[in-house]
Structure 1
Amino acid sequence: MPLALFEDHHWSNFSPLTLTRATFDVKVGPKTLFEEFSYSNNIPDVLLVRKYLEGITAERHSECYINPNVIDADTLFVNGLLHPASLDLARLANISHTFAITSGNRLLVARVSKKSAEYLQRCIETGKSANLKTLGVEKSTDTQAAEGLLSDPWDLIRVLENALEMQTAAEQSSDLSNARVLGKHAVVAEGATIEDNTVLDARTGGIFIGPGAYISQSRIVGPAYIDSYTQVKQFSIIEKSYVGRNCRIAGEIEHSIISDYANKAHDGFLGHSYVGEWVNLGAMTTTSDLKMTYGKIRIHGRDTGLDKLGSFFADMSKTSIGTLVYSGRRIGVSSHLHGLVAGDVPSFTIYGKGIGARNVELELASAIDTQRKVMPRRGQHMSKAYEQMMKEIFLLTRNDRKSTSVRKAKFSV
C-alpha cells in the first residue's frame, strides 16, 4: 500500500514556520511527523507539498516521490499534521473502496479515485483548501475529536512535554559517573562528553544526550533531549526542552524547541517558544511567556488556551543584543530584530521600531549572502534549491511587509 503524506491548508496557521518547510517537516518535540511515520515503519512513498517547496523537499527526502505526475490508485493519503499513533494504518490499508475521514473542513485520511487525486494534488500545490465534496468518495466519516491532529503553532508547545517523554522513555540508562543524576528515569549520553558536576535531573522525565554533544557544567531537567554535536556552555539551565543538532546553547531554556544549527550562545531566557533552523539569538535576548495577569495568551484574537506561551522564530531570523520579545509573537523568515518587539514581524524585515528606528525591508541579496556565509560554519552549504526557496519566500511575503508599512530603505539607528 503506497502511503502519501500531504499538506492541508492549515500550513498557513503555522506560518512563518512553514514558509521554509512542509508541515510534516516541522519538529514536534525531537521528531518531525515525517520521522514519526518512518520510526513506526510506515515510511511514506509520496509527499505532496506546495509547489515552491518541491525542490527543497526533494533534497530533504530523496527517498520519496515529491508531487509526482502519476499516483498509484491504491495510495492511502494521510494528512501531514496527523500523528501516526492516532491511526490504524493496517486496518485502513485493507479498505478496498474509496473513503474519506474528515474533521470539519479538514481531510485526515482518504483513498480516492485517480481524478480526485489529481484535484487534491492541485489544491495542495497551490496551498489551498480542498472541497471535500469534490472528492466524491463512497463513504465519508466526520470525526470531531481528531486525536493527534495539529491545528495551530501553539499545539507544538502544548504537546512538547508528552513528545519528549515518549522519545526518552524507551532509552536505556548510561553510566554517568562524572555527573550528578537525580531520579530514576533513563539518562542516556551516547558518545557525549559531560563535564564534572553537571546535574542531570531525571525526577520528572528522561534525558537523552546525543553523540558528539558537549555539556559543560550545567543543569538539565527532564524530559529533555539534546541532539548530536550540540555544545551547551557553562552554567546553562535546560528544562523540559528539545535542542537540535549542532547548536550552541547558553543561558536558561524552558519548555522550548530549538531546531538544528541554531544559536543561543549567551545569557538570556527562552521560554515556551519555538526556534527554527539557523536562528541566532543575540546576547541577553529574552522572551516573555507569561502575562502579568496570569491570563490565557491570545494570538491574533484567538485564545490559545495556554497561560504560558513564548514566541515563534522562523528559520534564519536573528536578534541583536538585549532584544526583548513579548509573548505570542511570530517572527518571520530572515528577519532581524532590535530592541523591544511587541508585535509580529514579517519575513525579510529589519525591525527597528523597538529602538526608535524605522522598520525596513532586508534586501534579498543580503539575506542570501548572509546565509551562504553561515552554513559552512556548521559544515553545510547552500544548495540551489535552498537559494531558490529563499527567493520564492521573499516574493510570497512582500504583501505582509507592505501591509505593515515596512519600507524599502537603508536601515539606520
Structure 2
Amino acid sequence: MNLIFFDTPTQHLDLSPLTLTRPLADLRIGILKIAEKWKYWFSEYFGNQDIKVSFLTPNYLSTKFPLQHDTDNFYINGGLLPNKEITRQIFQLFHNEVISNEQHLLAARTDKIFNSYEALVEGIPVLQQMNEDITIISQLWHIFEHNRNQIIADFEMITKGRKSQPITDPHTIAYAKDNIFLEEGAVVKAAILDAENAPIYLGKNSLVEIGCIIRGAFALCEGASLNFGAKMRGDTTIGVFSKFGGEVSNVVVQGYSNKAHDGYLGNSVIGEWCNMGADTNSSNLKNTFKPVSIWNYRFKDYINTEKLFCGTFMGDFVRCGINTMLNTGTVIGVGANVFGADFPPKFVPDFAWGGAAGFVKTQLDKLFETASVMKSRRGQTLTKEDKAILTHLYASS
C-alpha cells in the first residue's frame, strides 16, 4: 500500500510558518505525526502489510520529502486526522475515485501519477462525499485545539495490548496508574502524575526530573525531558528530544526544541530546533477577553481565530533571548532571532533579527552555523536538503 500525503496550496500557507519547512502530514499532534497515525490505521486495516509513505509537496520541499508512486496509490489530505471509519471509507474507494466534503478534497485512490495538487484535482473526476464526521487541520490553532483528543486516541492505539514499564521511584505519586504508560527507558523521579481525567504517556528514554507536576492529557515523546519543578498543566505534547521546564498548558512542541527554564507558555505550537531563553513568557489571553487575531501568510494580514486563548506559533530554528515577552497570538517565522526589552511585534517575519526596537534580516551563513551547532548537540547534522530549504525560504523572504 502506498500512501501519498498532499497539502492544498491554501493549507500550506494557512499553516505557515510550520509548513514552510515540512509537509502538513509531517506535523505532530497528539503523540504521533499525522502520517504516522495513517500508517498505523492502514496497517491495522490490512493486517500489518508494508505501508509506504511519501509526500506531494511544493518543489522546494521535495528533495527532503520525496514523492514515491506505485500501482495503487492513496492520496490523502495531510491535515485529515484518521480513525477506523474514515480509513475504511477511503480504502473502499475504487480506482480513480476522489472523496471530499464541502470544504476540502480529502482523498483519492488511483494508479495514475500526479506531480502536483492541481493535476490531482483535475485528473480524477469521479467524486464521493465523505459521510463520516472528520477532523481536519487547516489553521494553526487547530493543532493545540485538537491535541487533547489526539493524545487520548494515540495513547489507546499505541498502548493497546501492551504493558507499561513500572514506576519504580518510591517518591513519585501516581493517580490512576492504569492511565499512565512508560516506554522502555523512561525515568520518573519524585514527581506527581495525575492521569485521573486523561492519560499520561512517557516515551522511550524520556526523563521526568525531581519535583515535576504533570496532569493528563500529556505526552513526553522519545528522548525528551522535563527539568526540575516543571509544571505541565495538561493537553500538552513535548516532542522528541526536547527539553522543557516552567509552566506549560495546551502546547504542542514538534521536537528538538528547548524551553529549559521558568516562564509560561500556553495554547501554543512550537516547531523544531527552537530555543527559548530563561524566563521567556507568552501571553495566551488578552486583557480585554476578546478573541485573538494572528498573522496569516496567505492573506498577509491578521485574521480572527475566534479563540479566547491563543499563544505563540513558532517556526523552525527560532531563538528567543532571555526574558523575552511574547504577546497574545504572536507568530514567529522560520529562522528568526528575537531579543531585547519590551514586546516584539505580534508578527516576526522569517529570518528577522531583533525585537521591539526593530528588525534586520539575519545572515544566512550565521543561521547555518548556529543551526549546525544545535543539531550536533542532538547527534544530528544540518543536511544539504535542510540548507536548500532554508536558502529557498531566505531568498523568498
Alignment TM class, shorter chain as reference: 0.7 to 0.9
For residue 341 of structure 1, report the CA deviation from its aligned partner.
Answer: 2.2
Helix, strand or coil: the match of 1:341? coil
Amino acid at match of 1:141: Q
For residue 371 of structure 1, report the CA deviation from its aligned partner.
Answer: 0.7
Helix, strand or coil: the match of 2:25? helix
Question: Which residue, 269, 279, 286 being the options, matches 2:281?
Answer: 286
Amino acid at match of 2:338: L
Sort the Cα spacing of 1:199 and 1:90 in 2 relative to 1 into closer, same or farther, 3 A: closer
Amino acid at match of 1:81: G
Amino acid at match of 2:347: D
Question: Which residue, 280, 292, 297 being the options, matches 2:292?
Answer: 297
For residue 351 of structure 1, report the CA deviation from its aligned partner.
Answer: 2.7
1:350 equivalenced with 2:324 (yes/no): no
1:380 corresponding residue in structure 2:
380
Amino acid at match of 2:63: G
Q: Percent identity?
A: 25
Helix, strand or coil: the match of 1:359? strand
1: CA distance, partners of 2:74 / 2:152:
30
8 Å CA contact 1:169, 1:185 repeated in 2? no
Amino acid at match of 1:153: L
Higher strand content, 1 or 2: 2
2: CA distance, partners of 1:144 / 1:330:
35
2:206 corresponding residue in structure 1:
213
2: CA distance, partners of 1:86 / 1:24:
18
Helix, strand or coil: the match of 2:37? helix
* C-alpha distance after superposition, 1:240-266 (max 9, x if no partner): 211112222111111101122111011
For residue 54 of structure 1, report the CA deviation from its aligned partner.
Answer: 1.5
Helix, strand or coil: the match of 2:354? strand
1:78 corresponding residue in structure 2:
76
Amino acid at match of 1:107: L
| Structural mapping, 1:81-100, within 5 Å | 81-85=79-83, 88-96=86-94, 98-100=96-98
1:239 corresponding residue in structure 2:
233
* C-alpha distance after superposition, 1:165-221 (max 9, x if no partner): 22234634543252111235511233222222x111112211111222222221111
2: CA distance, partners of 1:3 / 1:226:
27
Helix, strand or coil: the match of 1:389? helix
Question: Which residue, 187, 192, 195 being the options, matches 1:199?
Answer: 192
Helix, strand or coil: the match of 1:304? strand
1:189 corresponding residue in structure 2:
182
2:27 corresponding residue in structure 1:
26
Amino acid at match of 2:359: N
1: CA distance, partners of 2:24 / 2:250:
21
User: TM-score scaled by structure 2?
Assistant: 0.86
Tell which deviates more after alignment, 275-284 or 246-255: 246-255
Sort the Cα spacing of 1:180 and 1:347 in 2 relative to 1 into closer, same or farther, 3 A: same
For residue 226 of structure 1, report the CA deviation from its aligned partner.
Answer: 0.8
Structure 2: segments with no counterpart, 5+ residues: 44-50, 296-301
For residue 4 of structure 1, report the CA deviation from its aligned partner.
Answer: 2.2
8 Å CA contact 2:4, 2:67 repeated in 1? no
1:248 corresponding residue in structure 2:
243
For residue 317 of structure 1, report the CA deviation from its aligned partner.
Answer: 0.2
Sort the Cα spacing of 1:3 and 1:293 in 2 relative to 1 into closer, same or farther, 3 A: same
1: CA distance, partners of 2:354 / 2:88:
50
1: CA distance, partners of 2:188 / 2:120:
54
Helix, strand or coil: the match of 1:56? coil
Runs of 4+ in 1 over 6 A off after TM superposition: none
* C-alpha distance after superposition, 1:338-381 (max 9, x if no partner): 231232111110132x2x3x310001111111111111111111
8 Å CA contact 1:227, 1:243 repeated in 2? yes
1:167 equivalenced with 2:116 (yes/no): no
For residue 89 of structure 1, report the CA deviation from its aligned partner.
Answer: 3.9
Sort the Cα spacing of 1:2 and 1:215 in 2 relative to 1 into closer, same or farther, 3 A: closer
1:224 corresponding residue in structure 2:
218
1:150 equivalenced with 2:137 (yes/no): yes
Sort the Cα spacing of 1:386 and 1:307 in 2 relative to 1 into closer, same or farther, 3 A: same
8 Å CA contact 1:100, 1:111 repeated in 2? yes
Aligned residue pairs, count? 372
Sort the Cα spacing of 1:297 and 1:232 in 2 relative to 1 into closer, same or farther, 3 A: same
1:53 equivalenced with 2:61 (yes/no): yes
Sort the Cα spacing of 1:294 and 1:391 in 2 relative to 1 into closer, same or farther, 3 A: same
For residue 105 of structure 1, report the CA deviation from its aligned partner.
Answer: 5.6
Sort the Cα spacing of 1:112 and 1:227 in 2 relative to 1 into closer, same or farther, 3 A: closer
For residue 145 of structure 1, report the CA deviation from its aligned partner.
Answer: 8.1
8 Å CA contact 1:311, 1:327 repeated in 2? yes
Helix, strand or coil: the match of 2:306? coil
1:389 equivalenced with 2:394 (yes/no): no
User: TM-score scaled by structure 1?
Assistant: 0.83
Amino acid at match of 2:344: V
Sort the Cα spacing of 1:89 and 1:223 in 2 relative to 1 into closer, same or farther, 3 A: closer
2:338 corresponding residue in structure 1:
337
Helix, strand or coil: the match of 1:256? strand
RMSD of equivalent CA atoms: 2.3
* C-alpha distance after superposition, 1:98-138 (max 9, x if no partner): 32222346321123574xx53xx23x4xxxx6694x3351x
